[in-house]
Amino acid sequence: MKRFLGWWAKHPPYALALILALLAAPVAAVQPDEMLQDPTQEARAREISKGLRCLVCQNENIDDSNASLARDLRILVRERITAGDDNAEVVDYIVDRYGEFVLLKPTSGGANWLLWASGPILFVLGLLVAGLYIRRRSTAQAVTEQRLSPEEQTRLQELLRD
Amino acid sequence: MITELGHFALILAFLVSIVQAVVPLVGAQKRWPGWMAVAEPAATLQFILTAAAFAALTHAFVTSDFSLRLVVMNSHSAKPMLYKISGVWGNHEGSMLLWVLILSLFGAMAAWFGGNLPPTLRARVLAVQSSIAVAFFAFIIFTSNPFLRMAVPPFDGQDLNPLLQDPGLAFHPPFLYLGYVGLSICFSFAVAALIEGRVDAAWGRWVRPWTLAAWVFLTIGIALGSWWAYYELGWGGFWFWDPVENASFMPWLLAAALLHSAIVVEKREALKSWTILLAILAFGFSLIGTFIVRSGLLTSVHAFASDPERGVFILGILVVYTGGALTLFAARANVMQAKGVFGIVSRESALVANNIFLAVACFVVFVGTLWPVVAELLFARKLSVGAPFFEMAFTPFMVLLGLLLPIGAMMPWKRANVGRVLRQLAPALFLALALAGLVWAMQTGKTLLGPVGVFLGTWLVAGAITDLYSRLGKNRDLSRLLRLPRADWGKAVAHGGLGITMLGIAGLMAWQEEDIRVAYVGQPFTVGAFEFELNGVERVQGPNYFSNMADVSVRQDGETIATLYPEKRNYPVQQMPTTEAAIDYRLMRDVYVVIGDPQDDGGWVMRVYLKPLANWIWGGCILMAIGGFLSLSDRRFRVAAGARKSQMVGVPAE
């Protein structure tokens, strides 16, 4: 929820109702009692949690969230890890139940390839256009360098004295 | 009474802005000096009236006038004075009033300092600037009026959101708005130049200081917001890639690009149409940002529906102004013939590369921010785009920018020799590689992030120093450093600052440590190189809150280096808890302690974070801002003063 609060901090006029609803159960992010004994397993749980979105918060992962739903999801992730799932299986398990909305890192499947490729595509296009422009500039005839007019000369002197 | 005067002043300002948007524009077209001359006093008057309205609203907050709806909703008589004042802009209506106040301030400044502009250009700039003000005055008066009264005033207000009761609120929004809204003047210059049909080196010189000022303020505003989030939100995150942060980041990226491309216009009369386009887009993104924040479109589609009027109004402003400017741009593209000729390897090309990196980075942020809406509307997919996407898709362009920056910064205009530049930069490159290698060998987890950050940071800082050093001439006369133009110093300081920020971000993300546990009084525990001991938790009462304040000793090598007092507060009026982290700030690392809830067995949940290089992030931002100010103070920007003098000298002769 901190993430959510962060958003809220900057946008006071919104989400009052939501904040009140969440505050009914104020618990903090990862609690000591949720944590797994095995440090490797716990580290895996933390890593997976950072990629999963808290469904009732603003753009916040379940690892940082204070919402009780996020706590439930964190416990679920840890249960799956203890049950022997690998990281991908845990994520699939959650996505099966909550939809791809929980993924903070969208997949590249379907139309999402456009999202992932948009930066590189524009970059290549930009390089092409810039390359053509620069080539034209480097071969263009220099506009005849005009000498300064007498008035401009006086003004230049004036500026240099400034 | 004062409230009514403020309300009246706001309406008058609206009317003045309409006059200022129309009369000088007609005057400039018809070459009527009297009509053009209206712009200057109108801009001043508009600013004074808006300031009066703002002062009246501030008065209502300071005196806790609960007959005003806005004050009731956002204030409380027991609230400390600082937050009564900053509460003026801690809400939608008040912050929009601050928006137009700054908009009219920039208009007035353009009028006051624009004496050297050709009269038609000045009239047009002020008219365009005022036409933006017209839209926002209308927005405030018709959809978000801060001066509405309550039929039955309550005895006390509902208080301000406790998270906003922080000095951060006093400074973060005003700086951010100075930057956001400051870009409006670049937009006005671009549109005025298009109407005028003339974009030349002089235009580049006029527009650059405004861009620089806006960029500096935006840098300070974003850095303050990030630092505020860091200490206030309780776990030390400094950037979340949240739509609203992205909304401020996109104009920053474009303003940085504009800053550099305007140099090419000024010095080499090339890249003109691109620069005009950037000026339009930079402010366009400010409007998009305002739209995103105000409509709630991206944070929740339903919040948008809950207040469609405001969102649609701003969308209308966005479409009319950006769309109109772009149409004008398309119609006038032919007047912007490039003059300068330059080689494929040159300072000009390097600045083009800078613009590509910054513009593409901005585009990635833009697509990522809007993609959830696009996916839902077009593909019926409800999905999220969060920090992991931006970290992967955005970072490469910044790394490339950092790699090329020192080389490009040292290239001469027109034609450069890469070999020569690289030879000069060899020591910087060697130092950066050596440090990165050292860090790679020393760190425990083998992540690339840390070494890459160290490389870029060192490369940029050492590159900036090399740049200054290369200006010393053959006999390495150090006294020449002091005689260098301030703009050269500004460039080096800002570029070094960028390096330091990159290093801070990479270091923090790669090496931070975290510990979550139940702590007991008198039972020390160790995190990293530090030992922590909870000495007790005390119940404290603040002016408008209650608090559990813990007393935590931090020891290193058996010596107490700090005593920290993290708090968990509860604000009864808003029924809201906040965590107040306690931070031991040091040059190389922060120790960040948060206290949580009490446990049944008498322990307290405690979180400890070790955050290496955290302060470098903001230190770098401060350096970037100082660099911007240094450039602003360069006498070349005051050349205008000389121009005015020569005009004045010329007048008696006529």
pLDDT digits (tens, 9 = 90+) for B536-577: 999 999 888 899 999 999 999 989 999 999 999 888 887 778
Name which of B342, B361, B516 is nearest A138 (Cβ-Cβ).
Answer: B342
- Given an 8 Å threshold on Cβ–Cβ distance, is B577 in contact with A130? no
Residue B296 pLDDT level (bands cut at 50, 70, 90): low
Q: What's the pLDDT at B340? A: 78
Q: Which residue has the tokens 């845990």?
A: A90
What is the value of ipTM here, to two decimals? 0.86
Q: What's the pLDDT at B542? A: 86
Range with the poorest average pLDDT among B56-65, B225-234, B533-542, B608-617: B225-234
Residue B307 pLDDT level (bands cut at 50, 70, 90): low
Percent of chain A topping pLDDT 70: 77
Q: How far apart are CA B312 and CA B297, in angstroms?
A: 10
Q: Which residue has the tokens 């696009």?
A: B374
Task: Give the residue from B291, B290, B262, B267 showing the smallest Cα distance to B277.
Answer: B262
> On the CB side of B617, how many CA atoms lie within 13 Å of its CA?
24
**DSSP-assigned letters across all residues of B381-440:** ------HHHHHHHHHHHHHHHHHHHHHHHHPPSS---HHHHHHHHHHHHHHHHHHHHHHH
Name which of A15, A64, A118 is nearest B363 (Cβ-Cβ).
Answer: A118
Handedness of CA B43, B49, B53, B56 (dihedral sign): positive
Q: How far apart are CA B448 and CA B71, in angstroms?
A: 51
Q: What is the mean pLDDT of chain B?
A: 88
| A16 pLDDT higher than 70 | no
| A137 pLDDT higher than 60 | yes
Provide the pairing of β-strand B525-527 with B530-541: antiparallel
**Chain A residues within an 8 Å CB radius of B596:** 28, 31
Q: What's the pLDDT at A116? A: 94
- Given an 8 Å threshold on Cβ–Cβ distance, is A9 in contact with B356? no
pLDDT tens digits, one per residue of B614-632: 999 999 999 999 999 999 9
pLDDT tens digits, one per residue of B564-574: 999 998 888 87
Cβ of B446: how many Cβ atoms within 10 Å?
8
Please, what's the b/e burial string for B208-220 (b: 16 or more CB within 10 A of its CB; e: otherwise)?
A: bbbbbbbbbbbbb
Q: What residues form DSSP beta bridges with B606?
A: B517, B595
Cβ of A114: how many Cβ atoms within 10 Å?
15
Inter-residue contact B354 to B346 (CB < 8 Å): no
Name which of A103, A116, A122 is nearest B363 (Cβ-Cβ).
Answer: A122
**DSSP-assigned letters across all residues of B521-550:** BT--EEETTEEEEEEEEEEEE-SS-EEEEE
Residue B299 pLDDT level (bands cut at 50, 70, 90): low
Inter-residue contact A83 to A91 (CB < 8 Å): no
Q: How far is the alpha carbon of A60 from chain B, nearest alpha carbon, in Å?
A: 8
Range with the poorest average pLDDT among A12-21, B453-462, B474-483, B588-597: A12-21
Distances (CA, A) of A130 to A135, B160, B271, B362, B441: 8, 50, 10, 17, 40
For chain B, domain boundaries: 1-165, 204-269+278-410, 411-512, 513-614
- Given an 8 Å threshold on Cβ–Cβ distance, is B516 in contact with A10? no
Q: What's the pLDDT at B637? A: 63
pLDDT tens digits, one per residue of B499-524: 999 999 999 999 988 898 999 999 99
The highest-confidence range among B367-376, B389-398, B477-486, B569-578, by mean pLDDT, is: B389-398
Question: Rounded to 5 degrees, what are φ and ψ at B499?
Answer: -60, -45
Q: How confident is the model over B220-227, as a mean pLDDT?
A: 93
Range with the poorest average pLDDT among A96-100, B72-76, B650-654: B650-654
Q: How far apart are CA B319 and CA B191, in angstroms?
A: 15
Inter-residue contact B564 to B591 (CB < 8 Å): yes
pLDDT tens digits, one per residue of A21-65: 333 334 467 888 888 888 889 989 998 998 998 887 777 888 888
Q: How confident is the model over B445-469, as a mean pLDDT?
A: 91
Q: What residues form DSSP beta bridges with B514?
A: B609
Inter-residue contact B345 to B416 (CB < 8 Å): yes
Q: Which residue of A has its CA nearest to B73?
A: A13
Q: What's the pLDDT at A125? A: 96
Residue B199 pLDDT level (bands cut at 50, 70, 90): confident
| Structure token digits, residue B82 | 């600082």
Percent of chain B topping pLDDT 70: 95
- Given an 8 Å threshold on Cβ–Cβ distance, is A3 in contact with B516? no
pLDDT tens digits, one per residue of B137-162: 999 999 889 999 888 888 888 888 77
Q: What is the mean pLDDT of chain A?
A: 78
Inter-residue contact B181 to B103 (CB < 8 Å): yes
- Residue with the bigger pLDDT between B161 and B434: it is B434
Q: How confident is the model over B57-85, as a mean pLDDT?
A: 90
What angle is formed at CA B450 by the lines to CA B445 and CA B453, rounded to 5 degrees?
Answer: 170
| Structure token digits, residue B463 | 């590159």
Beta-strand runs (E) in B170-321: none
Percent of chain B topping pLDDT 90: 58
Q: How confident is the model over B363-370, as a mean pLDDT?
A: 94
Handedness of CA B635, B636, B637, B642 (dihedral sign): positive
Residue A142 pLDDT level (bands cut at 50, 70, 90): low
Q: What's the pLDDT at A147? A: 61
Inter-residue contact B253 to B362 (CB < 8 Å): yes
Q: What is the dihedral of CA B623, B627, B633, B635, to 10 degrees?
A: 150
Provide the pairing of β-strand B567-571 with B604-612: unpaired
Instruction: Tell me the pTM.
Output: 0.89
| A133 pLDDT higher than 70 | yes
Q: What's the pLDDT at B578? A: 83
Inter-residue contact B162 to B574 (CB < 8 Å): yes
Inter-residue contact B13 to B137 (CB < 8 Å): yes
Residue B646 pLDDT level (bands cut at 50, 70, 90): very low
Question: Rounded to 5 degrees, what are φ and ψ at A55?
Answer: -70, -25
| A1 pLDDT higher than 70 | no
Inter-residue contact B159 to B76 (CB < 8 Å): yes
Q: What's the pLDDT at B530? A: 94
**Chain B residues within an 8 Å CB radius of A9:** 161, 163-164, 228-229, 232-233
Q: Which residue has the tokens 């929004």?
A: B173
**Chain A residues within an 8 Å CB radius of B638:** 162
